[in-house]
Amino acid sequence: MLKILLVRHAQCVMNLEITEKIGGRTNHSPLTPLGEQQARALGAHLSAALQLAGTPLPRLRFYSSTAVRAQETAKAVMAALEVKETELVQSEQLLELEQGEWEGRVRRECFTPELTAQFAADPWGLGWNFAPPGGESQRQVEERMLAYLREEVLPRLSPDAPAIVVSHGMAQKCLLRGLLNSLPTMSRNIAMGNTSVTEVGFLPSADGGVSDGTWHILRVNDLAHLPLELRS
């Protein structure tokens, strides 16, 4: 089985405003001091766990979105594993959901009572196909995330070493919806804490190809590496 560790980035400055404002991509937002501690704790944990499992570290593959907060998280993990930063592959396909004209705006001004009522009335999850002006839908995020894993990550994996993919909360939720083929409304019920680890496995078809096979969810939102004082 091929394995991928999906990591949500550590706490960033934008996360401190997310209850009131729509963050979206906000790609320039750096890690907070707490976020830096979280990233180091994750790195130390993964270093110990992978070495204990006998994982050949040179075979690890590292990926992140191009957002500053994802890059900084990935590089902290790589430093703990003594891997050169040049080994990090960055892609815009791993970015957070694009909120377009809504990015940075006050949440209640965008999610009007009328729009919220439409979402609530649709059992299939209207938000899955809804895109704000200049933005993208959850369905589009799901499609690009899954395509990237299939086309760029899986072909380079070996069964004895996972890939570490640092991305974003909503992007990972959309991906999991696709892997589970669940109702889109279930995405909002999945928790994704900062530096959480979600592990997925892929079992290739009988001929060994990755164009066909089955996905398995091995763990979700694992925060065991963070003491309570570092959780955000």
Query: Mind listing the pLDDT tens digit for each residue in 81-131?
Result: 999 999 999 999 999 999 999 998 998 888 888 887 877 777 666 678 888
Strands across the sheet containing 88-91: 88-91, 61-65, 163-167, 2-8, 197-204, 213-222
Beta strands in 2-151 (DSSP E): 2-8, 61-65, 88-91
Given a contact cutoff of 8 angstroms between Cβ atoms, the answer to whether 194 and 232 are in contact is yes
Confidence of residue 170 (pLDDT cuts 50, 70, 90): very high
Confidence of residue 221 (pLDDT cuts 50, 70, 90): very high
Per cent of the chain over pLDDT 70 is 97
pTM above 0.85, yes or no: yes
Domains observed in the chain = 2-230 (3.40.50.1240)
State the Cα–Cα distance between residues 53 and 57, nearest whole angstrom. Answer: 11
More reliable by pLDDT, 39 or 17: 39
Query: What number is the average pLDDT over the span 29-40?
Result: 97
Residue 19: HSE in the Cβ half-sphere, 13 Å Cα cutoff:
2
Degrees, nearest 5: CA angle 16-104-183: 85
Query: What number is the average pLDDT over the span 200-220?
Result: 86
State the Cα–Cα distance between residues 145 and 136, nearest whole angstrom. Answer: 13
Phi-psi region of 106 (alpha: psi -120 to 50; beta: other; left: phi over 0): beta
